[in-house]
């Protein structure tokens, strides 16, 4: 049509798509996107599950007097905000469980929040919630959610 055969047209299209993808990646990186952050499932007010090994690493860093390194490790491992990570590190350093912020209007106990998530068709988030607050394994959390 424009004096270009189909093979050349395909090559041009692929090159244009590759350049567009590269531009998107560069812009995302400049905006502060981190590929290691696990934020895709997050719902405002719900904390992501924090694996036990990461909790132990945070406790070790706090025991060594490296609270800032603990906050950084927690943020890198979970994608938490600075305030959320500091609250979690402070709680773990004091020997408490991982705090979970309560959105306004939500019931306080775990079972009620899990029931609400299940009723909204968000059973997977309910499992994440249970794992994050209790430290249960995936199978244990799924069983807990299924029994409610």
Q: Whats the size of the chain, residue-wise?
A: 148
CA angle 59, 60, 62 (to 5 degrees): 65
pLDDT value at position 38?
Answer: 47
8 A C-beta contact, residue 47 and residue 132: yes
Q: What is the pLDDT of residues 106-145, one digit of tens each?
A: 556 788 888 888 888 888 888 988 888 888 888 988 998 8
Percent of the chain with pLDDT over 90: 20
| E strand or H helix at 82 | helix 82-93
User: Distance between CA 96 and CA 57 in Å, rounded?
Assistant: 15
Q: What is the pLDDT of residues 37-71, one digit of tens each?
A: 444 455 556 677 788 888 889 999 999 999 999 99
Average pLDDT over residues 2-13: 82
Sign of the Cα torsion 108, 111, 112, 117 reads positive
Q: What is the residue whose two structure tokens read 């004096």? A: 3
pLDDT value at position 40?
Answer: 46
Q: How far is CA 134 from the centre of its chain?
A: 17
CB within 8 Å of 53: residues ≥ 6 apart: none
pLDDT band, residue 92 (cuts 50/70/90): confident
pLDDT value at position 91?
Answer: 86
Q: Residue 33: pLDDT above 80? A: no
Q: Residue 20: pLDDT above 80? A: yes
How many alpha carbons fall within 13 Å on the CB side of residue 146? Answer: 6
């Amino acid at each position: 049509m424009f004096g270009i055969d189909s093979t050349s047209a395909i090559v041009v299209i692929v090159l244009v798509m590759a350049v567009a993808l590269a531009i998107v990646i560069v812009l995302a990186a400049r905006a502060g996107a981190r590929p290691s952050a696990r934020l895709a499932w997050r719902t405002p007010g719900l904390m992501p599950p924090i694996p036990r090994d990461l909790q132990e690493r945070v406790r070790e860093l706090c025991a060594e007097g490296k609270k800032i390194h603990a906050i950084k490790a927690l943020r890198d491992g979970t994608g938490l905000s600075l305030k959320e990570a500091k609250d979690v590190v402070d709680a773990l350093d004091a020997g408490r469980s991982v705090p979970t912020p309560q959105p306004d209007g939500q019931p306080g106990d775990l079972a009620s929040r899990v029931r609400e998530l299940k009723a909204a068709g968000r059973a997977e988030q309910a499992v994440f919630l249970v794992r994050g607050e209790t430290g249960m394994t995936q199978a244990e959390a799924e069983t807990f959610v299924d029994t409610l």
